[in-house]
Amino acid sequence: MLRRLLCPAIVAVALLQQATHAASIPTIRYDIVAETYAEGFEIPWALEFLPDGRLLVTERQGTIRIVSPDGSVSEPIDGVPPVRARGQGGLMDIVLHPDFANNQLVYLSYSEPGAGDGDDTIGYTVIDRARLTDLALTDVERVYEVDAEFYSRRGHHFGSRIVFDADGFLYFTIGDRGQRPLAQSMETPNGKVHRLHDDGRIPADNPFAEQPGAITSIWSYGHRNPQGMAVHPATGEIYTTEHGPRGGDELNRIQKGVNYGWPAITYGINYNGTPITEAMTADGMEQPILFWNPSIAPCGIDFYDGDQFPKWKNHLLVTALAFQQLRRVHIEQGRVIHQEIIFEPGSRFRDVETGPDGLIYVALEEPGRIVRLSPAD
C-alpha cells in the first residue's frame, strides 16, 4: 500500500552546545537542561534501564558497564561473548526480557567473529541471551545465527536493534551488509526485520514460514541498515529508523510481510552522486512515513513515555549521527505531524532512552558519555 509521503519542515532548532552544561535550552514546548550523567565510555552504543534504576550501557568494542543512579560507572562486567569490533560492527543492542524481574534474562546483538585467518572474515550479526547476575553474564546461549555461507568480509550494515512486543515476540534488525540486492531476497537474512519467540523458535504465523527456500524468521524486508527500532506505547506498532545512502534516511512503520523497497526504490543516491534507481515509488513497495534528505544518519530511537515532559507523551525521540542531533517527531495515526531539533551538543548520538524518573538519557560518542535531559525549573 502506498501513502503520500509527509516531509514536514523543521520549525525550531535548539542551541548548539559544544560542551554539555546546565544552561537552559529552548524548545517549542519546554526549556530543557542538559547535564552529563555518566562519562568515560568508549563509543556507547545502547542504553537499557534495569528495574532498580541502574543503567546498562553497551560499548561497541565489546564491553558492558552498569551505571548506578548516582552516575558512577562500573568496570566492564564479566561473561560478555567475544565481539568483532571492526568497521561498523561490534557489540550493539541490549534489552531486557519482558519477564526480567523473574528470569534475569538480557538479549544482546553483536557482530560475531567469523572463521578465517586474521581479518579475512568479518562475520555476521547474532543474537544471544544470558542471565545478568551481579556484575556478570552467565548461562549465555545463542538465540539467532545464520549459516556460514552468509558471513562476509564486508564490515558495514550489521543493523541491529532489538525490541519485544506486548505478546512477547522478539524483533531485531539486520542490514543489507553492503549487498544491496539481497535485501529483496527471501533466501537471505540481509536487509530484514526478523521475528522470533524469546528462545529463538520461529513463530508459526511469520509471513514466510511456509514459503519454500525462504528465511522463516523474516517479518519485513527491503531494508538498507535499520539502526533504530521502538514500539509505540499506545498502539503497539513497531517503528524503525534506517540509514539511507546519500540522502534517503527513513522512518518506517513496520508491518507483517511488507516490502520497504530497498534498493528498488529510494530517495537517496550513491555517495559519488550517481543514481541508484530512478524510482522513488513502486507498486507493492511501502513508502516511509518520513525521509530525511540530506541524511541525518538516524540511530537509536525511543517513544517518550515518562511524566516529566507530558506534552511529549508518545512522541518519538530520534538520535542522529551525521547531524549530531536529538529530534522529536510527533506521529499520529501513522503520519508525521511535526518534527523539531531539541538538542545539538556537537557530538554523534547513538541511543536515547526514557528513564524510570521520566527524564531523557542519550548516549554520545565524542567523548563517550551519557547526558540527561530534564525540564528547566
Residues 43, 53: Cα–Cα separation, whole Å: 22
Q: CA-CA distance, 159 to 110, in Å (whole number)?
A: 9
Query: Does the annotation mark 157 as catalytic?
Result: yes
Strand 316-320 versus strand 325-332 pairing type: antiparallel
Q: Are 193 and 226 a contacting pair, CB within 8 Å?
A: yes
Between CA 299 and CA 353 the distance in angstroms is: 12
Choose, from 97, 157, 194, 243, the residue flagged as catalytic.
157
The β-bridge partners of 253 are 239
Cis peptide before 26 (omega within 30 of 0): no
In this structure, are residues 302 and 352 in contact, taking their beta carbons and an 8 Å threshold?
yes
CA distance 215 to 192: 10
What is the Cα 63 distance to its own chain's centre?
18
The span from the CA of 20 to the CA of 36, in Å, is 7
- Single out the residue of 4, 23, 5 nearest to residue 14, CA to CA: 23
What's 310's DSSP letter? G
Q: Which residues belong to the active site?
A: 157
